């Protein structure tokens, strides 16, 4: 069931993701904070199962309390739970069905299963193949892990979730192509330069005012500014650069109108307001080197792409796509669209969960059943194993197994079923 949450600033959030909900809670108790961190770690690593891991953790804490009340030492409880954990891993691996990464349909079906409980479940037929294809493009068949930093998810308001697309290259949504003085908005065989310096006149470190009473002095100032900018642009043009990415600056204007005018005359496409966090991904994708000073701007620092163009119509729909990047880049971009901000943010979170599912299948290439069947099977196997061992470990393993039954109990309760009768029936089927 989806929840509507409002934070202190009045921002509304609609989600059923456990990690997202817990992150919005203001908890003070250290144990509660631990549960929030567990959910956060689960979201980062697995993407899904954030609610389940909190439920299991709560059940294990209750089991610990019962064991401590019986007089069992905390160290013995910890050792016993480790024994149960080792046995549980064996049981789960024994239930697993091998998965072939070449079988695209199986991977998509697993992503659809992950997305079926989300707000955007109706769009799972679009998001699931997108997540699978994105991961498959950046890995080799022999890889045992996936670096999700090589997949950049961009959000753009406008359209529907079905309009989302996978781009083999870069996608800019909040950045602007300069149309000043008729600059180009489409460039083929692009030579891309990424600069971290400003194309504007320098300013003093301290705030001050300069009063110019003579128009000749003013004219001299403007001429010096013009000369300063022209010299920089000459060096940029000399390298053969025809697409210029300019990092956002907080000190002064990253690029002014005069510089845009000269760049447009030289048919250089300008994309401004590049975020610092995106620099690394851009460099990987187009094989460019960021340039902090104009004197270091040389031909070997330029990246490559077959096409850079601005697409869409209307201010809300315009995006900049960079395609045909070098083959060794091993990066992809996903453009997520949505009709409103709430749907857009939830679609982005759901897509992250789907990417994590594919990553999990790359790490451990087997599948296990769902619907709490794994938890019940592990529970029964642990309780049977507890009868075979002696001492404190037997008590601890039994409590660990009983704690896992809370998952099917909770699922049955949330589904409106009789939880006790359902769990009893499920237990009998696993014996």
- Active-site residues: which are they? 17, 50-51, 353
Contact 79, 395 (CB under 8 A): no
Residues 6+ apart with CB under 8 A from 182: 264
Q: What is the DSSP string of 100-133?
A: -TT-HHHHHHHHHHHHTTSTTGGGHHHHHHHHHH
Q: Quote the tokens at residue 195.
A: 């600069």
Residue whose tokens read 């008590």: 395
Distance of CA 188 to the CA centre of its chain: 30
Q: How many of the other CB atoms lie within 10 Å of CB of 359?
A: 20
Contacts of range 199-204, beta carbons closer than 8 Å, 24 or more positions apart: 199/229, 199/232, 199/233, 199/246, 199/254, 199/255, 199/256, 199/259, 199/263, 200/229, 200/252, 200/253, 200/254, 200/255, 200/256, 200/259, 201/225, 201/228, 201/229, 201/256, 202/228, 202/252, 203/251, 203/252
Contact 265, 181 (CB under 8 A): yes
Tell me how many degrees the CA angle 339-169-361 measures, rounded to the nearest 5: 80
Q: Quote the tokens at residue 108.
A: 């998509």
Query: Parallel, antiparallel, or unpaired for β 97-98 and 12-15?
Result: unpaired
Q: Measure the CA–CA gap between 252 and 47, rounded to whole angstroms.
A: 40
Specify the 3-state DSSP secondary structure of 11: coil
Tell me how many degrees the CA angle 139-142-148 measures, rounded to the nearest 5: 30
DSSP letter at 272 equals E
DSSP H or E stretch at residue 402: helix 392-404
Specify the 3-state DSSP secondary structure of 287: coil
């Amino acid at each position: 069931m989806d929840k509507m949450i409002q934070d202190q600033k009045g921002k509304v959030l609609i989600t059923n993701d456990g990690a997202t909900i817990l992150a919005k809670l203001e908890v003070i108790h250290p144990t509660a904070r631990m549960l929030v961190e567990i959910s956060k770690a689960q979201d980062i690593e697995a993407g899904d199962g954030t609610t389940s891991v909190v439920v299991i953790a709560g059940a294990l804490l209750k089991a610990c309390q019962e064991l401590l009340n019986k007089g069992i030492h905390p160290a013995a409880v910890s050792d016993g739970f480790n024994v149960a954990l080792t046995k549980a891993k064996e049981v789960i691996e024994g239930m697993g069905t091998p998965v072939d990464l070449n079988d695209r349909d199986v991977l998509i079906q697993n992503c659809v299963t992950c997305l079926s409980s989300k707000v955007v479940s109706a769009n799972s037929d679009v998001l699931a193949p997108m997540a699978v294809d994105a991961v498959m493009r950046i890995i080799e068949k022999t890889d045992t892990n996936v670096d999700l930093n090589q997949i950049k998810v961009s959000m753009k308001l406008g359209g529907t979730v079905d309009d989302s697309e996978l781009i083999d290259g870069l996608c800019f949504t909040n950045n602007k192509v300069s149309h000043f003085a008729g600059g180009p908005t489409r460039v083929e065989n692009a030579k891309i330069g990424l600069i971290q310096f400003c194309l504007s006149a320098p300013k003093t470190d301290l705030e001050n005012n300069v009063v110019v009473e003579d128009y000749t002095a003013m004219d001299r100032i403007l001429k010096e500014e013009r000369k300063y900018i022209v010299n920089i642009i000459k060096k940029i043009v000399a390298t053969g650069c025809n697409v210029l990415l300019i990092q956002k600056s907080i000190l002064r204007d990253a690029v002014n109108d005069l510089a845009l005018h000269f760049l447009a005359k030289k048919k250089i496409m300008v994309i401004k307001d590049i975020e610092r966090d995106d620099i690394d991904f851009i460099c990987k994708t187009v094989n460019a080197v960021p340039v902090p000073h104009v004197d270091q701007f040389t031909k070997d620092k330029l990246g490559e792409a077959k096409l850079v163009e601005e697409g869409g119509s209307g201010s809300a729909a315009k995006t900049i796509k960079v395609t045909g990047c070098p083959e060794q880049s091993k990066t992809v971009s996903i453009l997520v669209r949505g009709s409103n901000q709430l749907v857009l943010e939830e679609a982005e979170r759901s897509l992250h969960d789907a990417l994590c599912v594919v990553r999990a299948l790359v790490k451990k290439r087997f599948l296990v059943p769902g619907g709490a069947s794994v938890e019940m099977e592990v529970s029964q196997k642990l309780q049977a194993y507890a009868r075979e061992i002696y001492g404190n470990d037997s008590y601890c393993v039994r409590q660990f197994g009983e704690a896992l039954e809370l998952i099917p109990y909770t699922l049955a309760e949330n589904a409106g079923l009789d939880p006790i009768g359902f769990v009893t029936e499920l237990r009998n089927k696993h014996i």
